Amino acid sequence: MIETMWNLANKLTLLRILMTPLVVLLLYFEGPVTCVLAALAFIFASVTDWADGYVARRSNTVTSMGKFLDPLADKVLICSVLIMLVKLGWAPAWVVIVIVCRELVVTGLRAIAMDEGIVLAADRVGKAKTVLQMFAVVPLMLHYPLWGMDLRLLGEVLLYLALLLALFSGGRYCYDFYGSTRPAGGNAP
């Protein structure tokens, strides 16, 4: 059992979590070079999100630990970087607050549902939200013009689109949670 928990897919997921402090540290020492390095490290960490799932499915090594760690790793990476971008003044605080609160609510609902033996699986909208957040963060991190291009506007537009998907998918999680936990017949005790 322990052997299967530490399979390649789960190691890739843990790598994503371990990359987070590096990305945040590089952003902390803001400058054109460190921002490019932070973006590259973030892209590498984001690619592990695809790779861990691919490896787990391909090698038939999907584990409960992986099902728990994968969305956690996404949240740790995205939320940490978004908070750092707020600190730098490169992302609107209210947008980041809403996104982080949505992540906390969904994580809490999934934990409660799991405790009740109910699975609230990630849906396509939630996965699209994560991908869109990843695509939004990179141009926001590249705060300085790169090869004469200012990518901040692109990052902001993608972040607002990610916010809309976050609200929509968060609402769906709440609806699914309510529907799966209400008593039969729809009446509360």
9 pLDDT exceeds 60? yes
**What does the pLDDT look like over 119-172, one tens digit per residue?**
777 788 988 999 999 999 999 999 877 777 888 899 999 999 999 999 999 999
How many angstroms separate the most distant Cα atoms in the chain? 64
Q: Are 45 and 138 in contact (CB under 8 A)?
A: no
Q: Are 52 and 70 in contact (CB under 8 A)?
A: yes
User: What pLDDT was estimated at residue 187?
Assistant: 54
Q: Are 131 and 161 in contact (CB under 8 A)?
A: no
The CATH number, out of the four listed (1.20.120.790, 3.40.190.10, 1.20.120.1760, 3.10.20.30), of the domain defined by the range 2-180:
1.20.120.1760
**What does the pLDDT look like over 101-125, one tens digit per residue?**
999 999 899 888 888 888 777 788 9
pTM of the model: 0.88
Rounded to whole angstroms, the Cα distance separating 6 from 12 reads 10
Share of the chain above pLDDT 70, in %: 95
Q: Where are the domains of the chain?
A: 2-180
> What does the DSSP assignment read for 75-92?
HHHHHHHHHHHHHTTSS-
User: What pLDDT was estimated at residue 97?
Assistant: 98
**What does the pLDDT look like over 34-80, one tens digit per residue?**
999 999 999 999 999 889 888 988 988 888 788 888 889 999 999 99
User: What pLDDT was estimated at residue 3?
Assistant: 56
Under DSSP, the state recorded for 186 is S
